[in-house]
Structure 1
Amino acid sequence: MSKTRIDSFLSDIRLISSEQADIVESLREMALSTSRTVSEEIKYGGILFSDPTPFCGVFSYKQHVTLELSNGAGLNDEFGVLEGSGKTRRHIKFLTVAEIEIKHAREYIIQAHQNAQNDA
């Protein structure tokens, strides 16, 4: 994916809300740090992360940011933060940067990445 397209996307979010941009950038760094082979692309209005199959995405909305977990229904929700009732996807909502740690985002991203690797 074009680095300039992602940078432009992040800049647009920052113009609307610096807090949301900080959340998106923190979650993005976590997703990219799971493996050197993770790719990212702008898709569905957010940033989608794959390795080689999609495992998560980060989306900024008017009032919050969500971390979408592609096969979230199959994850161990040890901390009880996953939302959604669809067949496979689950998400975590973030209103502040502090919630990233409080809601254990890194653990869910790692778990989602590992599951995607096992399914590939």
Structure 2
Amino acid sequence: MRARKTGHKQRGISFIGLLFVAIVLACVGVVVAQVIPTLIEYQAITKAAGKATAGSTVPEVRAIFDRAQAIDDFQSVSGKDLDIKKDGDKVVVSFAYDREIHLFGPAYLLLKYRGQSR
């Protein structure tokens, strides 16, 4: 009996394709690793803004926020950067800041964070 030839081609990824996918995943991983700390910092700032609403005057709100800043150790926003308003009998603390992450050469990733207390 003769062996029949089948027209099946090999399937899979070539070494060059695998290398390309690995490089892309590594680059994405490096960027994500640099973005995650800024997200954690944003959460800490939001939490500090929420705590600061316990104050009734602007200096008191800023002082509460600055104490929370010293505890959580973030540098992007301080008490003087806050926008403090009264909504009825409720204090609303707003903040906004930008973070730049250097990618390569002249390329940067700009993250714009904005938030307020609830």
TM-score range, shorter chain: under 0.3
Structure (1 or 2) with the larger CA radius of gyration: 2
Q: Which has the higher contact order (CA 8 A, sep 6+)?
A: 1
